Amino acid sequence: MVTSFVDLVSEAPQMETLSREPKASTGVWRYRKQQAFYVGGIYTVIQTKAKITADEWGENYFLIGPYFEHNVKTQVEACEPPNPAIKKAMDTMKSQGCQVYFGRWLIEGSPYVLLFDIGSAAWNLDRWKGEFWDATNIGIPFHDREANDAVIFGSLTAWFLKELSCQFDDKPNVVAHFHEWQAGVGLILSRSQKLPVATIFTTHATLLGRYLCAANIDFYNNLDQFDIDKEAGERQIYHRYCMERASVHCAHVFTTVSQITAIEAEHMLKRNPDVVTPNGLNIKKFSAMHEFQNLHSMYKARIQEFIRGHFYGHLDFSLENTLFFFIAGRYEFSNKGADMFLEALSRLNFLLRVHKNDVTVVVFFIMPAKTNNFNVETLKGQAVRKQLWDTAQSVKEKFGKKLYNALLKGEIPDLNKILDRDDITIMKRAIFSTQRHCLPPVTTHNMIDDGNDPILNTIRRIGLFNNRTDRVKVIVHPEFLSSTSPLLPLDYEEFVRGCHLGVFPSYYEPWGYTPAECTVMGIPSVTTNLSGFGCFMQEHVADPAAYGIYIVDRRFRSPDESCNQLTQFLYGFCQQSRRQRIIQRNRTERLSDLLDWRYLGRYYMHARHLALSRTFPDKFEMEPCAPPKTEGFRFPRPSSVPPSPSVSQHSSPHHSEGEDEDEDERYDEDEEAERDRQNIKSPFSLGVLPQGKKKQHGEYRN
């Protein structure tokens, strides 16, 4: 028997399916459906997980998604389906007017993709909405285009699965994995039509949870107090909420991405997740031990060049003593913690000024917002910087020639004569060009409706205007980073590697890929215990701060206490010496093994086998063992960290050289690295799955 697996993607131009001869004695066709976005966390999950899934299932792995021509042209290579059953199902749908495409998604792992053109099937919308009403009593408003597209996409998915299952005489088993409510219609219809499909539903964040947190409601302290139907109705998303909740309760296995989201789902969706499936990344280790440190130095120098231009005329601080902090993500002012971050920056600025600290902090806000163009003053700054560089190179070239000629003659040149009057004039003009009669701009772009922008309004309130006396400087970059930008020509990954600290004090963050990406690049980060990533690290690392993961308590402390804790984290980081930061980056990078799909993929594998055992108990009498418990393999507190609460941070801004020498004696990188490697479980075997006693519903909760 053959096993297949299908991932359904409702907004990204790809589909994911597994199809390969299984290594176990019992086989199944699995089709997994996933909902994903072209940008964002869910898209990252699907894209990065494709390789580990393709390694497991080979040619029998497929993704299903909607067809977007502009994305398909650059990301999908068309080809014929490898299995005649898939081709026949596609031909049946095409004969009835639906446009279906097949190919390989050009990412790591090269999975097959099956794409539905939603527009070509839109003429069936009213009929399919009627069928959905008959099955669920959920009505879809005509004006909600996203929900209508979800009905079309889900109906096409259920149709395809029905046609596919009809191709097999022995009815091989199918597993369909749906992500998010937009893909859930296909799950609901598959169950209502009693298709031989094992279904999994994953929510990466509950629909209502996002809406409630965006409204600045005390969400986590009132989870059991909300009138769910009333809250959804007031926000005119009741039909979407019903689609999500129906998907959750129809699925054979319900999963979510973190423990904090599991608690949320229990109250919002009224079902406990069966499995928690943390999000991972594809980790690529450098062959050289400290290559990532070299990349940090290289990209930090690129950021310093931008700073020289942006702060021209006000560059009275040392770039060697300047730290780069950043926050990035969707522009959700409260959910992403930008409000608390700005307040903490105001307090940090006060502390650095009071203690007369020589450290300067430049903070970047990389959060896309509506703009109409680059800021003229920002462009001028980069032009002035380039002009100064050209002037310096011109004078250096003339100086070098004169020095060279003098040395050839065996003479020591008269330094008072080596620069002539014209050279002095050119340099004076260059100095005058750097004079500035205004403060360096806070934003790099002209913001549309900046009077109502929450970040800019908060900056106005706390007074961080990049004054000379400010030790904290703020730069708002309201666009995604690009290597083709005339201002900051760096991709996001390059920019992150050049920074010293990522700060993500989110209030609502079901997982949090931004701090995870910092970790795998060896960059320390700040997260919270309301993010899935923060909870995951608390569970796996005995002393997260020693490894560069600072976790702010936003769940059990008041907002002011949380802000003070964040301020102390930032101030303590500013007090670290350069060597301490290097040691911490080494430790941070070693945590990347915890976030590798080779380790975290086991939870998705477990969810699929659990769904099969529940759907086909006569064929799957044995289940794989549950994912191993995480207790007992936490990364220990590094032995080189002093046993004081300071965690390698000095109590005063200026510490002695003797303290660094003690740290050198205490720190043995190879010894620490080997100890850390022993505290991470080896990647899960993709061989024959062990057999065990069948488990009851809900027993496999991590």
DSSP 257: S
Enclosing H/E stretch for 687: none
* Residue with token string 């909600």: 144
Secondary structure letter of residue 281 according to DSSP? B
Q: How confident is the model at residue 641 (pLDDT cuts 50, 70, 90)?
A: low
Question: Would you state the pLDDT for residue 61?
Answer: 82
pLDDT digits (tens, 9 = 90+) for 178-207: 999 999 999 999 999 999 889 999 999 999
Give the Cα separation of 10 and 150 in Å (integer). Answer: 7
Which residue type, as a one-letter code, is found at position 628? P
Pairing of strands 3-8, 61-66: parallel
Q: How far apart are CA 647 and CA 692, in angstroms?
A: 45
Tell me how far apart the alpha carbons of residues 152 and 120 are, in angstroms, rounded to a whole number.
10
Rounded distance between C-alpha atoms, residue 392 and residue 458, angstroms: 39
Q: How many CB atoms lie within 10 A of CB 523?
A: 25
Per-residue pLDDT band for 148 (boundaries 50, 70, 90) equals: very high
Give the separation between CA 592 and CA 586, rounded to whole angstroms: 11
* pLDDT 10s digits, 528-540: 999 999 999 999 9
Question: Which pLDDT belongs to residue 678?
Answer: 63
Burial of 622 (0-12, 13-18, 19+ CB in 10 A): middle
Q: Is the pLDDT of residue 39 over 70?
A: no
DSSP state of 67: -
Q: Tokens for 616, please give them.
A: 């086909």
pLDDT at 273: 96
| Both tokens assigned to 229 | 């139907």
For residues 41 and 37, what is the distance between their CA atoms, to the nearest angstrom? 8
C-alpha to C-alpha distances, 142 to 125, 129, 181, 188, 610, nearest whole angstrom: 10, 10, 18, 20, 38
Q: Return the HEC string of 635-661.
A: ECCCCCCCCCCCCCCCCCCCCCHHHHH
* Tokens describing residue 352: 């650095």
Q: Are 181 and 11 in contact (CB under 8 A)?
A: no
Higher pLDDT, 54 or 117: 117
Point out which residues pair with 112 in neighbouring strands.
Answer: 62, 104
Distances (CA, A) of 317 to 323, 334, 568, 637, 679: 11, 32, 23, 36, 43
Comparing 4 with 604, the larger pLDDT belongs to 604
Given a contact cutoff of 8 angstroms between Cβ atoms, the answer to whether 383 and 391 are in contact is no
Q: What is the pLDDT of residue 289?
A: 61
Cα 174 from Cα 187, distance rounded (Å): 12
- Does the pLDDT at position 653 exceed 50? no
User: Residue 397's pLDDT is what?
Assistant: 87
- As a whole-number percent, the residues of the chain with pLDDT over 70 amount to 82
Instruction: Look at 11-15, 102-106, 391-395, 399-403 and tell me which has the smallest mean pLDDT.
Output: 11-15
At residue 694, the pLDDT reads 38
Closest CA to 179 of 164, 157, 161: 157
**Stretch 215-222: mean pLDDT, rounded?**
89
- The share of the chain scoring above pLDDT 90, in percent, equals 63
- Give the list of residues 6+ apart from residue 119 with CB closer than 8 angstroms, or none: none
pLDDT score of 290 more than 50: yes
Query: How crowded is the C-beta side of 549, counted as CA atoms within 13 Å?
Result: 33
- 558 alpha carbon, distance to own chain's centre: 27
DSSP state of 683: P
Neighbours of 586 (CB within 10 A): 21
Nearest of 349, 345, 344, 342 to residue 317 by alpha carbon:
349
pLDDT of residue 27: 35
Phi, psi of 101 (to 5 degrees): -125, 150
Q: 426 falls in which pLDDT band (50, 70, 90)?
A: confident
pLDDT bin (cut points 50, 70, 90) of residue 60 is confident
Question: How far does CA 688 lie from the centroid of its chain?
Answer: 33
DSSP string, 599-612: HHHHHHHHHHHHHH
Task: Grade residue 696 by pLDDT with cuts at 50, 70 and 90.
Answer: very low
Residue 634: band (very low, low, confident or very high) from pLDDT cuts 50, 70, 90: low
| DSSP code per residue over 321-386 | GEEEEEEESS--TTTTTHHHHHHHHHHHHHHHHHTT---EEEEEEE----EEEE-HHHHHHHHHHH
Helix axes 259-268, 532-540, angle to 10 degrees: 130
- Using DSSP, state whether 44 is helix, strand or coil: helix
The pLDDT confidence band at residue 124, using thresholds 50, 70 and 90, is very high
CA-nearest of 140, 82, 84, 145 to 118 is: 145
State the alpha helices, DSSP H only, in 38-178: 41-57, 69-75, 84-95, 125-136, 145-165
DSSP letter at 1 equals -
- Please determine, for residue 460, whether its predicted confidence score (pLDDT) is greater than 70: yes
Q: Stretch 689-694: mean pLDDT, rounded?
A: 37
Reported as a pLDDT band with limits 50, 70 and 90, residue 43 is confident
Confidence of residue 420 (pLDDT cuts 50, 70, 90): confident
In this predicted model, what pLDDT tens digit does every residue of 321-345 receive, in sequence order?
Answer: 999 999 999 999 999 999 999 999 9
pLDDT of 666 reads 62
Task: Kindly give, in sequence order, each residue whose CB lies less than 8 Å from that of residue 689, ignoring residues fewer than 6 positions away.
Answer: 24, 609, 624
HSE-CB of 194 using CA atoms within 13 angstroms = 0
Q: From its phi and psi, is residue 650 left (phi > 0), alpha (psi between -120 and 50) or beta?
A: beta
Q: What letter would DSSP give residue 135?
A: H
Tokens of residue 239, six digits: 């039909």
What's the CA gap between 172 and 163, in Å, rounded?
A: 13
Token pair, residue 106, equals 């050009």
CA distances from 668 to 55, 324, 639, 640, 673 (A): 37, 27, 9, 8, 9
- Tens of pLDDT along 344-370? 999 999 999 999 999 999 999 999 999
Number of other residues whose CB lies within 10 A of the CB of residue 561: 13
**Degrees, nearest 5: CA angle 415-417-422:** 120
Q: Each residue of 373-390: pLDDT tens digit? A: 999 999 999 999 998 898
Cβ neighbours of residue 6 under 8 Å, at least 6 residues apart?
15, 16, 17, 18, 30, 31, 32, 33, 62, 63, 64, 114, 161, 174, 175, 176, 177
What does the CA dihedral 561, 205, 3, 701 come to, rounded to 10 degrees?
50
At residue 602's C-alpha, the angle toward residues 597 and 608, to 5°, is 120
